[in-house]
Chain A
Amino acid sequence: MKVTIDGISLDVPQGTTILQAARMIGPEVAPPTMCYYSKLKTSGGYCRTCIVKVTKGSNQNPNPIPKPVASCRTEVLDGMEVQNVTSSEVLEARKGVVEFLLINHPLDCPVCDQAGECHLQDLGYGHGAASSRYEFKRREYEMIDIGPHIKLHMNRCILCYRCVKTAEQITNGRVHGVMHRGDAAEISTYIEQALENDFSGNVIDVCPVGALTDKTYRFKQRVWFTKPMDAHRNCKTCSGQVRLWLKGEQVVRVTRAKMPGMKWSPLFAIHADLIIKKHRIGLLKVPLKFNGIRLYHKTITST
């Protein structure tokens, strides 16, 4: 199937979304995303930052789609023509979306653990305005523990549903979800339930903002002062692909490793790059020459 994005054409297999096609071309035409997570089914479509304009529907039906579409949830059709960065309308609309995402965000990056690896920060720098036009009180919530190792800071949440879908599709038994409606909607656990499932820690890694943070790492270090190192630990439950974040010789944080091109064994196909709680907690403060860890790369320079 031939698709043209911002004047660049390429052939993609059937079922590819506009976003995936744009990412194949390269980062200069790929729209930014907040709520889309490639490993999840039915993910995306909510944040509206990836909206693009379809100027030609397909060869069979060349009419343009009147409204901008979410590129992460729209599959390409043969002969489709899409405008992203070349359309001022799309850029203007995206600016609006970024503004909406930020009006109730506390903008507390200086004290936020996610700062430095926050998608919303990147998005704000790339597409946001320098100052806010919002002059009302911002939404505020109490911070809560939604599990023994997870802190929920709802003020920062952009309701991308990524943690909800991760819990639903990957862990056995989802105990948290979105409560209430509209701008009162919030992530919460079911009454007296906590996220203590083995895989539940992964919701921290999929959170694009600082809403879900790792309690073992809160306020310990700024991300840019730590060095990431990918490692492997033999594990019967998960992939065992971990990323150790080092401060000197000490492991201060453990997350899942994002290693593109890594071949997963079929046993862990669904869990892909997710890791279980044992590693998240257990690898902290262990000496680096621990037997169970096999190092892949010495260091990764940038994150």
Chain B
Amino acid sequence: MATTLLLKHIAVPGIKSLDVYRNMGGYASVEKALRTLTPNQVTEEVKKSGLRGRGGAGFPTGMKWGFLAKPEGVPRYLVCNADESEPGTFKDRYLMEHIPHALIEGMITSSYALGARKSYIYIRGEYFYVSRILQHAIDEAYAAGWLGENILGSGFSHDCYVQVGAGAYICGEETALLESLEGKRGNPRIKPPFPAVAGLWGCPTVVNNVETIAAVCPIITMGGEAYSKIGIGKSTGTKLISASGHINKPGVYEIELGLPVEEFIFSDAYCGGIRNGRKLKAVVAGGSSVPILPAELILKTAQGEPRLMSYESLAEGGFQTGTMLGSGGFIVMDDQTSIVKNLLTFARFYHHESCGQCSPCREGTGWMEKLISKFLSGTAHESDVDLLWDIQSKIEGKTICPLGEAAAWPVAAAIRHFKSEFLELARNKSYVEINHYKRLQPVS
């Protein structure tokens, strides 16, 4: 039986409410932390657990907390990044919608460790109804004394706020999120200084993903040591995976890191195989920005070892033959999918969501989208593949924030692994139907 920590009680009726959540052992981590542990001990437990950021980059959370500057007399903030906007990722919404108290509990425990008097949940505008669920949960927590002054008589006071964004992908980037939270235009800041030194209103700030913060609760309840035994190697614990695409059972699954990818796709406990009896063609393993991998490379690494759902195994082989675990948006494509058409969807998204601050991303994302649409409207030449490759290489790594890379990686990977599809479209001048899309014609 696979371990489940976050979604253990998902099937319990009424788990949304505080009473049921408490009966199922909720808020135990707050009790344990506030009554028996010092803030540093909580941080130590998180360090011991080996928990890595679940938002995409996979940076060790304990280490991130350790970097937080702690000058005297300056407030510190914890900000929860609930601006889950990566196409293919919907795990945070599922968690917040069904078990909102898991996040609130994690916010209190984490804030205690960081010494944050106030914390903010920045949630994307499209999740407005989820923000109401969260606000209701916060109100319940205040009424029951889990939030507010002097929680559990420990002397620790904490306030938690929900802030709804306006629905920009870029506001999921931590510094853009802080700008937006401050009421400004959501443009990423130039780093350094990092948020751990000067974040929200210039004060030291930790920005964590929803799932990361929720994972702090089981870590404190069961102990960091025990948590680190779940998973494989440096990928400890469990991870929520949002599976979508051409599979029989799309949805959010909690897996123990280290599960073979083949088992995840084909086992009935998870995705249940490719729908309509078709064959697997490609997988985007961690949200739209990570490189796409063809079937033979996602199931087995270049060395022929089975690929596992873990930070290390998915990244094996670098970008030549590997990908990333990312935020866990697992998009499966069957053998009838056009990779170029799919790429256009991604490229259009990044073009639309670029903040326009730095020039390679502002101009390059639009150019890439137009070039890809050329392939689909039957006006492309074979040399356009090389041009596309050149453009992506000039965006990657030259921008202020990682959106440039997020836009360039899928293009690079599609050309790397599926170049023949581009060439075929260019040779045949075939016309592929694109729904709801204004065709962009080159000027002759």
**Which A residues contact B (CB, under 8 angstroms)?**
45-48, 51, 66-68, 70, 73, 93, 96-97, 99-101, 103-104, 133-137, 158-159, 161, 177-178, 180-185
Contact = CB atoms under 8 A, between A and B. Distances in A.
A286 to B, nearest CB: 41
A207 to B, nearest CB: 16
B350 to A, nearest CB: 9
Interface stretch (B45-53, B62-70, B216-224, B353-361): B353-361
B366 A182 contact: yes
B398 A183 contact: no
B400 A183 contact: no
B352 interface: yes
B397 interface: yes
Interface in B391-437: 393-395, 397-400
A73 B190 contact: yes
A89 B49 CA distance: 40
Contacts, number: 93
B363 interface: yes
Interface residues of B, number: 32
B183 interface: no
Contacts of A184: 356
B152 interface: no
Contact of B354 (A51, A101, A104, A183): A183
27 contacts: A45-B190, A46-B359, A47-B359, A48-B359, A48-B398, A48-B399, A96-B395, A97-B394, A100-B360, A100-B364, A100-B367, A101-B359, A103-B363, A103-B367, A134-B367, A135-B442, A137-B443, A158-B359, A159-B357, A182-B352, A182-B355, A183-B356, A183-B363, A183-B365, A183-B366, A185-B355, A185-B356
A182 B358 contact: no
Interface of B: 168, 170, 185, 190, 351-360, 362-367, 370, 387, 393-395, 397-400, 440, 442-443
The 4 closest A-B pairs by CB, nearest first: A96-B394, A185-B356, A182-B354, A100-B363
Contacts of B355: 181-182, 185
B370 A136 contact: yes
B357 A46 contact: yes
A183 B443 CA distance: 19
A181 to B, nearest CB: 6
A101 B366 CA distance: 13
A104 B359 CA distance: 11
Contacts of B185: 177-178
Given A96-B395, A158-B359, A183-B351, 9 more contacts: A45-B190, A96-B360, A100-B359, A103-B367, A159-B362, A181-B354, A182-B354, A183-B362, A185-B355
